[in-house]
Amino acid sequence: MKQIIDIFKIEKKPHRGLMAFEWVVMGYLALTLLIVLFAYTKIENPESMIWGRARVVAMTAALWAVYRLVPCRFTMMVRVVAQISLLAWWYPDTYEINRLLPNLDHHFAAWEQALFGCQPALIFAARWPSVVVSELMSLGYAAYYPLIGVVVFAYFFRHYEEFTQCAFVIIASFFAYYIVFDVLPVVGPTFYYKAVGLDQIARGAFPALGDYFNHHQDCLPTPGYTDGLFYHLVEDAKAAGERPTAAFPSSHVGVSTVCMMLLWRVRSYRLCWCLMPIYVLLCLATVYIQAHYVIDALAGLVSGVALYHATMAAAKAWQHPSHTKHHS
């Protein structure tokens, strides 16, 4: 009961301005808005991208106003959840921006071949097509956003004093990946293999495709057991919002690594170990379902660790004593 009361208890010293995680959103919004304006005639539907950003600004301002009227943990949670919920909305824009550049998958597929002597994304599911393995992999991949949600709410209910810091680290990590995706047009095996043809890929032929993905968005179906519950969840998610973009590095691996490190930081060891099987499955699934090359997943792991430390340092800098008077 006390915890419920605390959620709605009015704060004595509420934060006055935008939170650090909201400034990250505004920064990415401004950066991509400039890109859209400079490339206005080359981008498809630039008006919708501009108005979409205007709506994000309006939503952020409205949620800030609500918090100022009723400054409590609940309204702060709404501010955080709203911005995290929009992270998937920002994703397709990386395609609209990076399609201005020629595709680079032929380089990544060639590097994969040179490192492993094969295409792991092509043979992983072929060697382990069983119902159990397939469904476990699809479960891991589908658990990406739920895993993030678990971490966010774990901080809200158990470590509220660091709740907005957690939100900053997650949101800043997402946008760091989105910036890379904006300038690095790599689509991943599911799109590249489909475009080139599996026979060509198996023979080690990796042609450059230029602007092919400007006009083609077909991808391979998820491999494995096609009648599984989690298989269909992954397929439905791909149908709803997948684009030929955002392959290198794997943000699925990177952000989930950040989330696991956030849990370890506050000594939520039990929850961390409970989520560990999901985390491992998720990392493996990125290659199994052919969303990523192995080098994408490895880069996601390394960059996730680096981003955790960088964003945590930035969060602490924001809460330097010179800023403490602005924080509750």
pLDDT of residue 3: 75
Q: Is the pLDDT of residue 321 over 80?
A: no
pLDDT of residue 54: 98
Query: In whole numbers, what is the pLDDT of the chain averaged over residues?
Result: 94
Angle at 282 between CA 238 and CA 89, to 5 degrees: 40
| pLDDT tens sequence across 93-114 | 999 999 999 999 999 999 999 9
Q: Mean pLDDT across the stretch 245-258?
A: 97
pLDDT of residue 320: 63
Q: Which tops the pLDDT comparison, 320 or 274?
A: 274
pLDDT of residue 309: 97
Q: Is the pLDDT of residue 324 over 90?
A: no
What is the DSSP secondary structure assignment for residue 236, as one 8-state letter? H
Helix 20-38 and helix 163-183, axial crossing angle in degrees, nearest 10 = 20
Q: What is the pTM of this model?
A: 0.94
pLDDT of residue 322: 47
| pLDDT tens sequence across 124-166 | 999 999 999 999 999 999 999 999 999 999 999 999 999 999 9
pLDDT of residue 239: 83
DSSP 148-202: HHHHHHHHHHH-GGGHHHHHHHHHHHHHHHHHHHHH-----HHHHHHHH-HHHHH
